[in-house]
Amino acid sequence: MKTLPSVCPYDCPDACGLLVTVEKGRAIKVAGDPAHPFTRGTLCPKMAHYERTVHSPRRLTTPLRRVGKKGSGEFTPISWEEAINEITSRWKAIIARDGAEAILPYSYAGTMGVVQHGAFHGLFYRLGASELDRTICSPAKGRGYADVMGTTLSTAPQEAQESDCILLWSTHTLATNLHFRHDLAAARKNGAKIWCIDTYRSKTADLADYFVSVRPGTDGALALGILHILHGEGLTDRDFLEKHVLGWEGLAEKILPKYPPEKVAAIAGVPEEMLRALALAYGHARAPFIRLGSGQSRYRNGAMTTRLITCLPAAVGAWGKKGGGLLASANASRAYDVDIVHRPDWRQAGVRHVNMCQLGEALTADSRIKSLFVYSSNPACTAPDQNKVLAGLAREDLFTVVHERFLTDTARYADLLLPATTSLEQDDAYYSYGNYTLQCGWAAIPPVGESLSNWDLACRLAKALGIDDAFYDQSARMLSEKLIASTKSRWPGIDTDLLQSGRPTPLPLPTDYNRTFATKSGKIEIRNNTLSPALPDYMPLPADAEGFAFVNAPDMRILDSSFNEREELTRGNTMVLLIHPEDAAKFHITDGQRVTAQNERGEATFTAKLTASTVPGRVVSEGVWWRERISGEHSVNVLTSQRLTDEGAGSTFYDVRVNLQAK
């Protein structure tokens, strides 16, 4: 028996340090690593029994060929040799007839490890396949932040311990950033007050001192309302604005007068007294800290909304005050030279791009795609406009290969289904996007069954396709070690021996990391002349016909659609719709009753839960569930749209309206 360090591979900002106990080639216990500077020895309930995922009886263990109808999930085992031969002969024929752009890779962050995440990039670049724009998460948030701050690093989460006023803004901390709760508790001990700004009263709202319920997609107006009050009350930091900020005068003269508190209260659905209280608390705080989630960014105005919220710490000079600032994303990935894995030098100019939020459209309206290769993602469940995605996946002429750990909704549509390893069976270098830590995860157990890691499969495919390049003679371990070496010039001061040892490795932050601003002008750019409009302003969402705003928030039990394989986590209610009792009365809906939500894209069935945690006109569901976990035909993404954000071409998952009907 031995205990090895590892790291949580999932798409979660915490990137927890793990201690894995291994006996006879099996992981028997997984615990938190107390040495991790942010996650500090605890895990979320999902990962506390990661060994149940790793050794689940549901793991795919051999390559499979489809024998039933697409979607039926009926397969027969085949050998790896047969699978690789079939893929290469089908792809060669497709390339000869339709060109390499007829092949589309589709992936996201099933694993966050740099090597396995980007393992197939080089192969598909080299083939000249269609390129996927990986936009499903929150590029609009990234854009909105960068529009104001450039590449300035966000404030480290542990600094919030020294803040006296913390805003949890569109983030369900207890579900998606659990370990920040330690910092919240420490800050609170020192007298800090915590505000939660969300569209419904989540469990995170219950943790806060104050809850601000905001109308979906109107946070930009809310930010302007706060700025209006700060300006009016003389609570801005004039000295800081003069020295470090471009465009404050323009904003104060041209934009803020349009957003008096009474108007903002009406737009955002926030009582005027609450708006004032929030603005005054923020303005009077010694070191206000904003933890900005992604909720506000998944709307047609998502980048602009983020841009407006990012103006707040500039107005009060929160940057550089110990405990103050804003954390959007920690960007620790910068420490690695990811091109070592991605091989952008193999990219071919002019190839077609497909935005992953528009997979449904790409597979249905555009029959040029003849083969789809899915890995590290489950688009049949997680991509918007599910009916379109499923119609595309059902196409008989689409040769679909899925590389997966489990029989997911997408895997059911595969022509060839290939078994993938879990993180405990593969080598990789990781980073966190919510705190400043790097870590390597070295294989702790051998591959389960005949599963192959993304990288090992990429090497097999490259060779079989005749790509004779020494790049594919390297192991994932060798690539990880090159990534470690690359940190030396990119982020000075990293303890690379510690990183190599597989233990959590803090990224040293320079003392002025959020006191100097990495923009073109060297100042925070409230006015950004490269953008139109140069000054940020609220963009109202166009009116939609349907009666209810539909918010589909994360669920604590799963992560996107990952962990649906675990019976003990997903037992019980999955498709629950939170409805305010007043709306329920109007529509004759009772608690526990079946109810359908529908719009022009489709219809999903839920169990109604009557609750004042939402407000009239707004319904809420949590989680993206596998079809086998729900009683109806479709999960939530049958309702969501392929429309993109204002900037960044990102997803608009929460920008949805529905009508309700009791069943």
Name the site residues for ligand MGD (rule: CB under 6 A).
11-12, 108-111, 116, 136-138, 169-172, 175-177, 197-200, 202, 214, 216-217, 219, 293-296, 375-379, 382, 403-406, 408, 420, 454, 551-556, 558-562, 624, 636-637, 640, 653-654
Q: Which of Mo ion, ligand SF4, ligand MGD, none is residue 14 near (CB under 5 to 8 Å by kind)? A: ligand SF4
Q: Is 10 in the site for ligand SF4 (CB under 6 A)?
A: yes
Amino acid at 596: T
x-marked contacts with ligand SF4 along 160-189 as a string, rule CB under 6 A: ------------------x-----------
Q: Is the peptide bond before 533 cis (omega within 30 degrees of 0)?
A: yes
Contact status: 109 vs ligand SF4 (CB under 6 A)? no
Closest to ligand SF4 by CB, 8 or 315: 8
Q: Locate tokens 């996007």: which residue? A: 433
Give residue for tokens 């830590």.
Answer: 437
Rounded Cα distance between 357 and 634, Å, is: 18
Contact status: 137 vs Mo ion (CB under 5 A):
yes
Q: From the list ligand SF4, ligand MGD, Mo ion, none, which binds 538 (C-beta under 5 to 8 Å, kind-based)?
A: none
Residue nearest to ligand MGD (CB): 295
Name 133's Cβ contacts closer than 8 Å, sequence gap at least 6: 353, 354, 355, 356, 649
Out of Mo ion, ligand SF4, ligand MGD, none, which partner does residue 15 contact, by CB within 5 to 8 A per kind?
A: ligand SF4
What is the footprint of ligand SF4 within residues 14-43 (CB under 6 A)?
A: 14-16, 39, 43
CA distances in angstroms from 44 to 169, 173, 225, 507, 557, listed in the order given:
21, 12, 36, 23, 9
> How many residues sit close enough to ligand SF4 to count as binding (CB under 6 A)?
13
Report the partner that residue 43 touches, choosing among ligand SF4, ligand MGD, Mo ion, none (CB closer than 5 to 8 A by kind).
ligand SF4
Task: Using alpha carbons, list the distances in angstroms from residue 520 to 145, 147, 155, 517, 609.
Answer: 14, 11, 20, 9, 50
Q: Does residue 144 contact residue 305 with C-beta atoms inside 8 Å?
A: yes
Phi, psi of 4 (to 5 degrees): -120, 145
Q: Which stretch binds ligand SF4 (CB under 6 A): 9-17, 137-145, 317-325, 490-498?
A: 9-17
Nearest alpha-carbon partner for 327 in 535, 166, 538: 166
Asked if 44 is part of the footprint of ligand SF4 (rule: CB under 6 A), the reply reads: yes
Using CB under 6 A as the binding rule, whether residue 557 contacts ligand SF4 is answered as no
Q: Per CB under 5 A, which region of 133-141, 355-363, 526-534, 563-571 contacts Mo ion? A: 133-141
DSSP code per residue over 321-361: STT-EEES---GGGGS-THHHH-GGG--TT--EEEGGGHHH
Which entry of Mo ion, ligand MGD, ligand SF4, none binds 8, CB below 5 to 8 A by partner kind? Answer: ligand SF4
Binds ligand SF4 by CB under 6 A, chosen from 5, 6, 12, 129:
12
CA 379 to chain CA centroid, Å, is 14
Q: Please report whether residue 46 would count as binding ligand SF4 according to CB under 6 A.
A: yes
Shortest approach of Mo ion to residue 327 CB, angstroms?
16
Report the distance separating Cα 430 and Cα 476, nearest Å.
13
| C-alpha to C-alpha distance for 620 and 576, rounded to whole angstroms | 8
CA–CA distance, 557 with 574 (Å, rounded to integer): 10
| Count of positions (residues) in the chain | 663
Assign residue 173 a region (left: φ > 0; alpha: ψ between -120 and 50; beta: otherwise). alpha
* Contact indicator for 255, 536 with CB cutoff of 8 Å: yes
Give the residue with the Cβ less far from ligand SF4, 384 or 434: 434
Q: Which is nearer to Mo ion, 269 or 554 (CB)?
A: 554
Q: Which residues bind ligand SF4 (CB under 6 A)?
A: 8, 10, 12, 14-16, 39, 43-44, 46-47, 178, 559
